[in-house]
Structure 1
Amino acid sequence: MLRSGGADLTIAGGIREFGRATPAALAVRDGDRALTYAALDERSSRLANALLLLHLKPGDRVALLCGNRLEYPEIAAGIAKAGLVLVPVNPRLTAPEVDFILGHSGARVLIADDALAASVPSFTGAVICIGGSSLGLEYEGWIGAAPAKDPWVAVDERDPFCITYTAGTTGDPKGVLISHRSRCLTFYATALEWGLGPGRRTIAVAPMYHGAGFAFAYAAVYCGATVSMLRSFDPHLLLDMIRRERAQSVFLVPTHAQLIRGAVREVPELPSLDTLYFNAAALPKVLKEWVFEAFPGVGVHELYGSTEAGVVTNLRPPDARRKAGSVGHPWFATQVRVVGPDGQPVGPGEPGELYSRSPYLMNGYHDNPAATAVCTTDDGYLTSGDIVVADDEGFISIVDRVKDLIITGGVNVYPRDVEEVLLTHSSVVEAAVVGEPDDRWGERVVAYLVCREAIEATALDAHLRARLAGYKVPKEFKIIAALPRNAAGKVLKRELRSTP
């Protein structure tokens, strides 16, 4: 019987293939720097060999601390070519937070942007510096001295290519083990769904250390397209890059759309752009309608997923307006089930917890079998931790996080219901609703708001009471300058609950 052997899927595969098929095609652009596929293939091989010369063994971990820049794809591919495991690190973390990730992952090498030296803790492994040498070996000289021949270290496609650390919403961050197979299939499905294939152009807007940011930027070089690096988000700079780079498919999070809306009076014509796809948090209906108007003729997708599950659902352009508020149907090769508190499936229109099963699921949490067991089932499903409703056509809508459900006076309140109505008020820019302890009701509903102008609580109360049941109306409205968010754009409600 034939075996796949060396044909196993690895995230280095696409770069190897297009390094031969289209060597002169542009793979990565970063300002005035650029790499062809031939150069990307060669440089990633040099990096692989440089790592192997450090006497690393297959499966050893290599941490990467940097933002979106030209070197990111070649480092990820080179680590894979060497049979090692990438540990992407958020460049916004403090040295103690970085220290935890390096220690927990067991990283033996750290590749870091020299500009982030202040975030690097004391580390006993090898340190390689991009753009300097204050912490260790200088990156360009290090890879330049290594052989250019691809080492072709054997990799099992079900082994992890990376350990991605969660934001740590409760306790220490957890390391999510993501396999080569999971991400390679994600890349191919991304090319099919959002057009990231040969000859296409995109921009790495979301940070690449994050699961979605990496998947949707790296999918470009895996599938023969071109990705341009946006170093830090700026609405005007992004729109100018789309025009200048003639980008066609671009991934954003709702916060990006909100920032563009607030900074730009009118979005300029962008004739190359044909696809926008959103993830990380629910796209409020009011904001989604603005996206339709600001980017006419552009297909708008809204997808849903997580680091642990990968992409779970997608709402495609033909249904984008008709099913606004939904995240669509299960994605390619994905099965879902919606269950009630008793673990039994619920019917259409009934809220329940969403579970999914697909080839994109994580392998588990690194060194944490107990946490893995809590979120998985014996038959291979993974909980999303979200409460959803599926309608009679199978379209799924996210009601709220299980942990964000508010129980006030024994009645369930889903914060998103209240947030959507708050956003229909002309003065409200952003809204987050949480439950806070209350001696009488158990929890009281509290709204945190970012507003365009001063507004009285009585006016907000009246606006909501005309549209919501009384028990859903917040007992308190707190106006703040900005909602706390992680790098993926998700609101950190735990921080709001601790706001005095």
Structure 2
Amino acid sequence: MLRPGGADLTIAGGVREFGRATPDAIAVRDGDRALSYAALDSRSSRLACALLGLGLATGDRVALLCGNRLEYPEIAAGIAKAGLVLVPVNPRLTAPEVAFILGHSGARVLIVDEAHGGSVPDFSGHVVWIGAGYEQWIDAARAADPWVAVDERDPFCIAYTAGTTGDPKGVLISHRSRSLTFYASALEWGIGPGRRTIAVAPMYHGAGFAFAYAAVHCGGTVSMLRSFQPDALIDMIARDGAQSVFLVPTHAQLLRAHFGEIPRLPTLDTLYFNAAALPRVLKEWVFEAFPGVGVHELYGSTEAGVVTNLRPADARRKAGTVGHPWFGTQVRIVDPSGREVGDGEPGELYSRSPYLMNGYHENPAATAACTTEDGFLTSGDIVIRDEEGFIAIVDRVKDVIITGGVNVYPRDVEEVLLTHPAVAECAVVGEPDDRWGERVVAYLVGREPVAADALEAYLRERLAGFKVPKQYRAVAALPRNAAGKILKRELRSTP
């Protein structure tokens, strides 16, 4: 039996530790509101007791339908203190989509931001509205930490994937996995005591939660950016003195489109990017827009956690790669037969690390389909490792286009398209073709109008003919999920 104060890692650990070590330090900022570590520790304990007062038992699920706001870290910590399991829900989902997650996870309680009431379906469990009712509810509960024992390998949350290929799958993420991610993030990106960061990406997503909550787990301060606007982000960095900030490439695209020149930000020393590969053109803009700032590019997934990181020392020299395997991570790159490939050969990437998921909730078939007997998890990506061990993402296995019997990797085409001055963003997909099997099609978000024949002439000077798109389609915006990843499946279904 585990005892209070035992050595097992839990995501409530940091809040407990810094609630004692630095009680007066600010843990969370949200506009004019702020929480000290003492208040975060106390309020999360009250929430834990309030949840247990509803008759919940260890391992029961509590869903949270909420955007970035001050209460998010305290709710996550309180659920963990009570030995319960968090089910983060994207507030942009429709009520039927939310109903699926609540039903599949078996959630017994739903905590919901009053601003997102339109996404709440009929629900037989207990609903708590963040607002006056929430404050009265936790104020009436005991402030004592219940210290419910949990095994560090048990799930602290069930994170639902975007569901681009059918119903979303629930990813079981353990306390140990996320706690180690927090500590490694503190080491890698400077998230720790006395350091300040911003919750830019939504916390209901795996990466957004990991890199925002890492601050309160490791003694830093996190400021809540409720919705992304370029001005709002830059103002918050300047006002709160943020030092390390996590972004996705879409944020950089929006910053580039909005600002002629980024204002000077003397406190900022670290930027780290994830969700999709940073195109070389955009990465070069980041270097110029944020002089003197260390730029990291990491790669991972909800299921695998962080897999690789490209550190500032190599950021320019090895642009186009995502670096080396991260702390404690082994990788294996194999061909379709399962044979490990050599340097310079494309293959599917598998990883094994302490950050891997426990599996998919109530879906053993899907878990078995993506894992090996010796504990490696597929990424679903094709990569190439160079002679120095740097890994470059070639493309998603499912996105490779086979046209006339020849493989085309969409990213090769996208990287060249993005060098054209009229192209702001793009996505290349394969669509059925009677003659070629698949044809290469490019979807473009333009800075200015450009004729298809002009684009074709530009690409033919830089790409082999079979890679040049057969068709170009202008769109106002590319469809993306909560992590900022382009949903190519939706483009393929565009009439």
- The two structures have a TM-score, normalised by structure 1, of 0.98
Q: CA deviation at 1:62?
A: 0.1
2:75 aligned with 1:65:
no
User: Could you tell me which residue of structure 1 aligns to residue 155 of structure 2?
Assistant: 160
- Name the CA distance, whole Å, in 1 between partners of 2:198 and 2:115: 23
Aligned-partner SS, 2:354: coil
2:127 aligned with 1:105:
no
2:18 aligned with 1:23:
no
Q: CA deviation at 1:6?
A: 2.1
User: Could you tell me which residue of structure 2 aligns to residue 487 of structure 1?
Assistant: 482
- Name the CA distance, whole Å, in 1 between partners of 2:182 and 2:4: 20
User: Could you tell me which residue of structure 2 aligns to residue 117 of structure 1?
Assistant: 117
2:284 aligned with 1:289:
yes
Q: Which runs of 5+ in 2 are unaligned?
A: none
User: Could you tell me which residue of structure 2 aligns to residue 393 of structure 1?
Assistant: 388
Aligned-partner SS, 2:172: strand
- Name the CA distance, whole Å, in 1 between partners of 2:371 and 2:319: 30
Aligned-partner SS, 2:286: helix
Aligned-partner SS, 2:42: helix
Deviations 1:363-402 (A, max 9, x none): 0000000000000000000000000000000000000000
Q: CA deviation at 1:200?
A: 0.2
2:349 aligned with 1:354:
yes
User: Could you tell me which residue of structure 2 aligns to residue 135 of structure 1?
Assistant: none
2:369 aligned with 1:374:
yes
Aligned-partner SS, 2:6: helix
Counterpart amino acid of residue 106 in structure 1: G
2:296 aligned with 1:274:
no
Aligned-partner SS, 1:399: strand
User: Could you tell me which residue of structure 2 aligns to residue 328 of structure 1?
Assistant: 323
Deviations 1:167-195 (A, max 9, x none): 01111000000000000000000000000
Q: CA deviation at 1:94?
A: 0.3
Counterpart amino acid of residue 111 in structure 2: I
- Name the CA distance, whole Å, in 2 between partners of 1:112 and 1:440: 52
Q: Which runs of 5+ in 1 are unaligned?
A: 133-137
Aligned-partner SS, 2:295: strand
User: Could you tell me which residue of structure 1 aligns to residue 84 of structure 2?
Assistant: 84
User: Could you tell me which residue of structure 2 aligns to residue 55 of structure 1?
Assistant: 55
2:358 aligned with 1:341:
no
Q: Is the 2:4–2:147 contact (alpha carbons within 8 Å) kept by the matching residues of 1? A: no
Q: CA deviation at 1:477?
A: 0.5
Counterpart amino acid of residue 78 in structure 1: G
Aligned-partner SS, 1:403: helix
Counterpart amino acid of residue 66 in structure 1: C
User: Could you tell me which residue of structure 2 aligns to residue 432 of structure 1?
Assistant: 427
Counterpart amino acid of residue 159 in structure 1: D
Q: CA deviation at 1:3?
A: 10
Q: 1:175 is matched with which residue: 166, 170, 174?
A: 170
Q: 2:188 is matched with which residue: 170, 185, 193?
A: 193
- Name the CA distance, whole Å, in 2 between partners of 1:342 and 1:123: 47
How many correspondences in the alignment?
494
User: Could you tell me which residue of structure 1 aligns to residue 241 of structure 2?
Assistant: 246
Aligned-partner SS, 1:336: strand
Counterpart amino acid of residue 204 in structure 2: Y
Counterpart amino acid of residue 35 in structure 1: L
Aligned-partner SS, 1:281: coil
- Name the CA distance, whole Å, in 1 between partners of 2:141 and 2:305: 35
- Name the CA distance, whole Å, in 2 between partners of 1:317 and 1:42: 39
Aligned-partner SS, 1:62: strand
Aligned-partner SS, 1:455: coil
Aligned-partner SS, 2:307: strand
- Name the CA distance, whole Å, in 2 between partners of 1:207 and 1:243: 21
Aligned-partner SS, 1:356: strand
Counterpart amino acid of residue 58 in structure 1: T
Q: CA deviation at 1:131?
A: 2.0
User: Could you tell me which residue of structure 1 aligns to residue 471 of structure 2?
Assistant: 476
Counterpart amino acid of residue 375 in structure 1: C
Q: CA deviation at 1:487?
A: 1.4
User: Could you tell me which residue of structure 2 aligns to residue 145 of structure 1?
Assistant: 140
Q: CA deviation at 1:4?
A: 10
Aligned-partner SS, 2:407: strand
Q: Which moved more, 1:5-14 or 1:401-410?
A: 5-14
Q: Is the 2:3–2:149 contact (alpha carbons within 8 Å) kept by the matching residues of 1? A: no
- Name the CA distance, whole Å, in 2 between partners of 1:477 and 1:383: 32
Counterpart amino acid of residue 105 in structure 2: S
User: Could you tell me which residue of structure 2 aligns to residue 10 of structure 1?
Assistant: 10
Aligned-partner SS, 2:362: coil
- Name the CA distance, whole Å, in 2 between partners of 1:307 and 1:102: 19
Which stretches of structure 1, 4 residues or longer, exceed 4 Å deviation after superposition?
Answer: 2-5
- Name the CA distance, whole Å, in 1 between partners of 2:261 and 2:190: 26
Structural RMSD (CA) = 1.0
User: Could you tell me which residue of structure 2 aligns to residue 316 of structure 1?
Assistant: 311
2:444 aligned with 1:449:
yes
Counterpart amino acid of residue 272 in structure 2: Y
Aligned-partner SS, 1:7: coil
Counterpart amino acid of residue 434 in structure 1: V
Q: Is the 2:4–2:149 contact (alpha carbons within 8 Å) kept by the matching residues of 1? A: no
Q: 1:364 is matched with which residue: 327, 341, 359?
A: 359
